[in-house]
Amino acid sequence: MLAGRKSNPWTKVLAEFEEKGLERGLERGIEKGIEKGLEKGIAKGREEAAKDFAKELIRKDFQNEQIVELTKLDLVEVEELRESL
């Protein structure tokens, strides 16, 4: 009885479906990872640029409140930058 048993045709379809799902999931995961990495990198770059700009404004005797308004840094960050110079 076992010798006459045929393999289930859905097994192959299911395996192909799972493989395609894994491939698409991996591709999507990589895309999302790159996207998030770029977003974080851009945000970090903007933050560093704002701090560099704030340092220049401090050197030119701008008031902390003016620097906060121009750079969108918070007051504590500006005060820390001022102390570090």
Give the pLDDT confidence of 37-73 residue by residue, as tens digits. Answer: 999 999 999 999 999 999 999 999 999 999 999 999 9
Residue 80 lies in a domain: yes
Residue 3: inside a domain = no
Residue 71 lies inside a defined structural domain of this protein: yes
The domain in which residue 39 lies consists of 10-84
- 59 in Cβ contact with 85 (< 8 Å): yes
Contact by Cβ (8 Å): 82, 73: no
| Residue type at 7 in one-letter notation | S
- The answer to whether residue 10 scores a pLDDT higher than 50 is yes
Report the distance separating Cα 58 and Cα 64, nearest Å: 8
| Helix residue ranges, H only, the chain | 9-59, 64-71, 75-84
Residue 73 belongs to a domain: yes
Residue 52 lies in a domain: yes
Residue 2 placed within a domain? no
**What pLDDT is recorded for position 16?**
86
Q: Is residue 54, in this structure, part of any structural domain at all?
A: yes
